[in-house]
């Protein structure tokens, strides 16, 4: 999954179809940053993506029944808060900083207490992972493990964090 915010360069109606929740309208959406994919709207005459306007989006790679890959595009509400520690709907930089802050706070019970510089470097590292397409869920799972270990007075380990992120991303990819 990737997230972005870019100017909409096309939003072309493709088709309509019925679902148990009502009629949906399919659009082919393209952004100035090069991302293109399929977007479904509840209102044919008023899709959330408007040509010429900058819009936040999330794009998830999917495979259709013929085996062809495509990007499923969703409008991303940037002001949407999360419950229970979730980071969906937040801009990637805010999510990265929040996860680094959690580790900063958790390090207080360890011998290796973090300072602002370490928190900043970790936030930058996590943002790089998010921008590279690593799932926020995979990163959050790895961060949660590190925080739980710190609660038991074990130091937060960057190498283990990195391998846990890879592990959980692979798990997510294999269990779609």
SS (H, E, C) 40-52: EECCCCCCCCCCC
Alpha helices in 6-112 (DSSP H): 92-106
> What was the pLDDT predicted at 89?
55
Query: What's the total number of domains in the chain?
Result: 2
> What was the pLDDT predicted at 81?
38
> What was the pLDDT predicted at 90?
62
Dist. CA 109–CA 106, nearest whole Å: 6
The series of mean pLDDT values per 10 residues for the chain, 176 residues long, is 88 89 89 92 88 90 87 75 45 85 87 90 90 87 88 86 91 85
Same domain, 53 and 110: no
Which of 49, 75, 101 is where one domain is finished?
75
> What was the pLDDT predicted at 153?
84
The answer to the question of residue 84 being in a domain is: no
Contacts 24+ apart (CB under 8 A), 28-35: 29/57, 29/73, 31/4, 31/6, 31/7, 31/55, 31/57, 32/6, 32/7, 32/8, 33/4, 33/6, 35/2, 35/4, 35/6, 35/59, 35/71, 35/73
Same domain, 67 and 120: no
Same domain, 71 and 96: no
Same domain, 126 and 101: yes
- What CATH number did the domain enclosing 44 receive? 2.40.50
> What was the pLDDT predicted at 130?
87
Domain containing residue 139: 92-174
Total residues found in the chain within this entry: 176
The answer to the question of residue 145 being in a domain is: yes
Same domain, 51 and 115: no
Which of 75, 109, 140 is where one domain is finished?
75
- The SS3 call for residue 108 is helix
Same domain, 56 and 105: no
């Amino acid at each position: 999954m990737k997230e972005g915010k870019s100017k909409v360069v096309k939003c072309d109606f493709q088709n309509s179809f019925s679902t148990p929740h009502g009629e949906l309208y399919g659009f082919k959406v393209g952004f100035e940053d090069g991302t293109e994919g399929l977007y479904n709207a509840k209102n044919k005459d008023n899709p959330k993506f408007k040509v010429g306007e900058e819009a936040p989006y999330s794009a998830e790679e999917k495979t259709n029944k013929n085996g062809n890959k495509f990007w499923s595009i969703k409008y991303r509400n940037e002001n949407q808060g999360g419950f229970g520690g979730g980071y969906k709907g937040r801009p990637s930089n805010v999510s990265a900083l929040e996860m680094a802050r959690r580790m900063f706070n958790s390090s207080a019970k360890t011998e290796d207490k973090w300072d602002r510089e370490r928190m900043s470097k970790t936030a930058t590292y996590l943002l790089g992972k998010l921008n590279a397409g690593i799932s926020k869920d995979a990163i959050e799972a790895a961060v949660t493990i590190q925080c739980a270990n710190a609660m038991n007075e074990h130091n937060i380990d960057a190498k283990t964090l990195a391998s846990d992120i890879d592990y959980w991303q692979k798990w997510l990819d294999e269990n779609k």
